[in-house]
Structure 1
Amino acid sequence: MRADDLWKVSTGKGVTVAVLDTGVDPTAAEIRGRVLKGKDFYNSPPDAGRDTNGHGTNMAISIAGSGAQGGLKGLAPDARILPVTVLKDKVSIGAGKAAAKGIRYAADSDARIINLSMGGHAHGTDRAAEEAAVKYALKKGKLVFASTGNDGEDRVEFPAAIPGVVAVGAVGTNGKVSKFSNTGRQVVLAAPGEETPLHCTESEGEYCEGRGTSVATALASASAALIWSKHPDWTANQVLRVMIETAGHNGPVPSKYIGYGTVRPAQVLLEGKGDPGDPDVNPLLAERQEESPKPSGSPDSAKKQDGEDAQSQPQQEKAANEADGNRTLWIVAGAGAAVVIVVGAVLAVRARNRRVA
C-alpha cells in the first residue's frame, strides 16, 4: 500500500464513508471525533452509536482509524464515518429491509462511499428493495462496496451480487486469492483480507488476528476515499475507473477470483496512473464491453495466482441464487494496521495468535 508515502499526498480528508453494519462505537480511541451522527434501522430503541457486536466499529477503524493511544490505524485516517445500523449480530433476520433503508439514507447523505462489509442471501421484497436502493444510490453518485462472502464458494453473496455494486474479494499476504473468498463473475476488485489485527470482540482492550472479505471491503472503500480526497471533482464513475485500471493482477482479466485485481491506490496517487475517463459512464454498467476500462500494468509485489485467476470471466451478471431471508455478517475482518502500517499492537496480536472465524 505504501501507506506512509500515500499519506503525504492524501489522508481521506473531506470524504465521508457510510458504514452500514452493526453500528459504530464513537468512543473507540482510534475513531473518536471521526464519527458523525448516523441512524439505526435495525434495533429498538434505535441507537447508531451502539455496537454490541464490534464488527461495525472494527470496519470503521479499518477505514479511518487514527492510531491514537497506540491503537490501529486505518488506510484513510482523516476520512469521516457515517454509522448506519442495519445488523445486530452474525445472523440478523430481516436485515435485507434494514439494509435497503440504510442504503437510501446513506445515498441522501453527504457520504460519497457506502461500505457494506456483509453478505447473505435475500429474496422477495428484501432483495427487490435492496436492488432498488442500490440503483438509487448509484443515481445519487455514490460508490457502493460490498463483500463477496467467506464460504469459499463459487457464488457472490448479496448485496455484492447486485449490478453496480463493487464486489470485493480477499487476498492473502502472498498475493493469492484467499481460500475462503467467494468467487464469481460479479467480482470486481480484491484487497488484503488475511492476518489483519482487530479489536477482540470478547476481550476489551485486546487485539485478535482476523481474516475475511469484510476487511478487504473496508480497505477498498478506504482506497477510494484516498483517491476521492485528492480528486474531489471526480465522479464515482471516475474514481472506480482508475481503481480498476490500476489494480494489480497476473493473467487475463477480469477473473472470477480477484476481478480486475487488487486495489493499489499508490498507482493513482503517487504514480499518476489511471485515466478517469467519462464522468457519466459507470464502468460496471456500460452497455458495450469496449466501454469497460482495460486494466494496465502488473503489480509491484503481487504473486502469480498459480492459475487461480487465469480464466477470464465477464464482470457483471445478475445473481440468481435465492435462499433464505437471513443475512450473514462476515465477522472475520479487522482493522488494516498489519497491511497498512506497523503498530505496537501487531506484535501482541501475533504473540496471542488468536483468531476469529
Structure 2
Amino acid sequence: MGFSRALRSLGGAALAGALVVGVTPVAHADDARNTQWALKDYQATNAVWPKSTGKGVIVAVIDSGVRATQVDLTGQVLPGKDFQFGGNGQTDHSPEYHGTGIASLIAGHGHGPNGEDGIMGLAPGAKILPVGVGPGLAVAGTDYTGQAVRWAVDHGAQVINMSIGGPDNDAVTEADMAYAEEHNVVLVAASGNDGVSVPQYPASYPGVIKVGAVDQNAKLWSNSNTGGVTVVAPGVQVLADGDTGYRMGDGTSLACAYVSAIAALYRSAHPNLTAGQIVNYIIKTAIMPKGHTAPDPGLGYGIASPDLNMSVAPGPAAGPLPQATAGSASTTGGSTSSSAPSTTTTASSSSSGGSSMGLILGVLAGVVIVVIIIVVVIRSRRRGGGGGGNGGGGGQPAYPAYPQAQPPQQAYQPPTGQYGQGGSPYGQQPPQQQNPYGGAPNPQQYPPQQGYGGGQQGR
C-alpha cells in the first residue's frame, strides 16, 4: 500500500522530504503544486492547515543561506547571519540553492493568484531564520555548525533545521547542541545520503531528531543512511525551490525539512509544550510501515506525521531522547576542529600534569611520614615500647589516603538502530494504532560537511 493510504487512515497526517540528488525538469510554474505529493498525502489543505500553519514559530535553517527574494519565500525570511561569507544570511551561496530549497519546503507560501502556483511549505505560517555556514555541498564543518546553533538559539529560533552533516564529532559542538536543548529548542538533522550505517553529525548528537528519507510508497530510500534514525519523511522525487525555478530530487535533506515543519506546526498549535514533548509527539505519532518493528535501523520509529489532535500524552518535559552534555564527546575522525577544542585539550593535558606532580609530592610526603613513624617506634621500644594502635609499636602506621586516578571520560557513542536499551526511548513500545500497513505506529572543510542533496536547476 502507498504512503497516502497510511496517512488517510490517521486522518491525513503530514510527511517530510529531502533535497534533490536526481533531477527532473519542471515544465511550468503552475505544475509545481500538483507535483508536491507530500502535501497531497498529508492532506495539508484539509487536515493540517485548518489546525496549524506554524504561525508565530521561527525555524532556523543552518545551511548555505536562503535567497530571501525567491518568489515563494518573500516576507518569510528574517535577517540572519552568515558565518563564512558575512552578511545577514539572505543570500544563498550554494550553486544548487540548497538552503533556499530547504526553506521553501518548510515555509514556502507559493505565489500567483491565491498562492496557487509555486512551492508551498508544510508550515507556511512559520518564519525562516537563515544561518549560513558554507557554500552548497561543501558546507563548513564544526567550526561554524556549533556557533550557528548557539547564535540561532540566542536570536529566537524554536526549531533548528540542519540538512548538513559529516563524520566529525567534537565536544565543543555537542556542548552547543546541549545549549539549544537547555533553551527549549527542537533540533532536527539529516541522517545522510550514503546508504551506510555510519554516524554523521550533527544528526548523531544526543537529543537531535535524526531523519531518514522514504518514497511515496513508504519505502526507505536506498541511499538513506541507517543506524540510530529517529523518524523518516518524504525525500524521494520531492520538488523544491531553486533560484528562479525548481529542483526535483532525492535526499535526506528534504525529509529533514518536512520534520522541521512538523515541529513548527506543533509548536504553533501548542505553545506550552516543551521541545522534548514536541520530540515525543513526533516519535509517538509516527507511522511504522508493515513488516518493520520500532525502532528500525533505517525507519526509526516510522514516518513522521503531524497528529494535531494530540492523541498521545505529552510525556516528560525533557522528552524521550538522550540529552547532549557539555564536554561528553571527543573528536573521532582525523579532522581539524576549531581552536576551542584545542584549548580544551591543552588545558586537560596541563591539568593531568599538575595531578601527576601532586601525586609524586604526596608519595614523598608519605615516605617521610613513614620514616618518622619508624624512628618514633624504634625509640619508643628502646624506652620500653608502646601499646598497639596507629603509629604504635604493635600496629600499622597511618598512611595518608591518596585519591584514585579517574578513568578517562568516555566519548559519547551514538546509538545504533535505537536509543537506549531496546524498545522506545521510554522503555516501552508506543501504543498500538491501526493502519493499512499492519505495523505499529510509533510514537570543514576537514573533511567538508555535506549538504544532503544537490542537483540542477529545473526549467
Distance 1:179 1:85 in 2: 29
Superposition deviation, residue 42 in structure 1: 1.3
Counterpart contact for 1:169–1:187, Cα < 8 Å: yes
5+ residue gaps in structure 2? 1-41, 324-419
Q: Deviations over 1:99-122 (max 9, x none)?
A: 110000112122110100011122
SS in 2 for 1:72: strand
Distance 1:302 1:223 in 2: 22
Is 1:144–2:181 an aligned residue pair?
no
Aligned length: 309
Is 1:241–2:363 an aligned residue pair?
no
Counterpart contact for 2:189–2:208, Cα < 8 Å: yes
Please, what TM-score do these two structures have when normalized by structure 2?
0.63
Structure number with larger C-alpha Rg: 2
Is 1:296–2:420 an aligned residue pair?
no
SS in 1 for 2:99: helix
Counterpart contact for 1:215–1:333, Cα < 8 Å: no
Distance 1:291 1:86 in 2: 35
1:194 aligned residue: 236
Q: What letter corresponds to residue 81 of structure 1 in structure 2?
A: I
Aligned equivalent of 1:60, options 103, 106, 110: 103
Distance 2:320 2:220 in 1: 23
Superposition deviation, residue 231 in structure 1: 0.4
Is 1:278–2:400 an aligned residue pair?
no
Distance 1:301 1:77, change over 3 A: farther
Distance 1:160 1:299 in 2: 30
2:67 aligned residue: 25
Q: What letter corresponds to residue 293 of structure 2 in structure 1?
A: P
Q: Deviations over 1:32-90 (max 9, x none)?
A: 111111111111x4341111311111111100000123110000000011111112121
Counterpart contact for 1:99–1:130, Cα < 8 Å: yes
1:212 aligned residue: 251
Aligned equivalent of 2:138, options 78, 81, 91: 91
Q: Note the 1:37-116 alignment, pairs <5 A.
A: 37-43=79-85, 45-53=86-94, 54-69=97-112, 70-92=117-139, 94-116=140-162
Distance 1:133 1:178, change over 3 A: same
Distance 2:245 2:230 in 1: 34
Distance 1:71 1:303 in 2: 36
Counterpart contact for 2:141–2:166, Cα < 8 Å: no
Aligned equivalent of 1:259, options 300, 313, 316: 300
Counterpart contact for 1:118–1:329, Cα < 8 Å: yes
Distance 1:78 1:153, change over 3 A: same
Distance 2:166 2:82 in 1: 20
5+ residue gaps in structure 1? 306-322, 335-348, 353-357
Distance 1:177 1:207, change over 3 A: same
SS in 1 for 2:449: strand
Counterpart contact for 2:107–2:123, Cα < 8 Å: yes
Is 1:117–2:163 an aligned residue pair?
yes
Distance 1:81 1:26 in 2: 9
2:200 aligned residue: 157
SS in 2 for 1:136: helix
Superposition deviation, residue 205 in structure 1: 3.2
SS in 2 for 1:326: coil
Counterpart contact for 1:196–1:333, Cα < 8 Å: no
Counterpart contact for 1:58–1:198, Cα < 8 Å: yes
Distance 2:436 2:77 in 1: 34
Q: What letter corresponds to residue 244 of structure 1 in structure 2?
A: I
Counterpart contact for 1:175–1:302, Cα < 8 Å: no
Counterpart contact for 2:252–2:453, Cα < 8 Å: no
Distance 2:434 2:224 in 1: 20
Q: What letter corresponds to residue 257 of structure 2 in structure 1?
A: A
Counterpart contact for 1:213–1:333, Cα < 8 Å: no
Aligned equivalent of 1:12, options 54, 58, 61: 54
SS in 1 for 2:128: strand
Superposition deviation, residue 31 in structure 1: 1.4
Distance 1:29 1:206, change over 3 A: closer
Superposition deviation, residue 293 in structure 1: 6.6
2:218 aligned residue: 175
Superposition deviation, residue 258 in structure 1: 1.1
User: What is the alpha-carbon root mean square deviation over aligned residues?
Assistant: 2.7
Distance 1:80 1:302 in 2: 35
SS in 2 for 1:137: helix
Distance 1:12 1:300 in 2: 27
Distance 2:64 2:321 in 1: 28
SS in 1 for 2:240: strand
Superposition deviation, residue 160 in structure 1: 0.3
Residue identity (%): 37
User: For structure 1, which segment, 73-82 or 242-251, has the greater mean C-alpha deviation from structure 2 after superposition?
Assistant: 242-251
Distance 2:263 2:110 in 1: 20
1:317 aligned residue: none
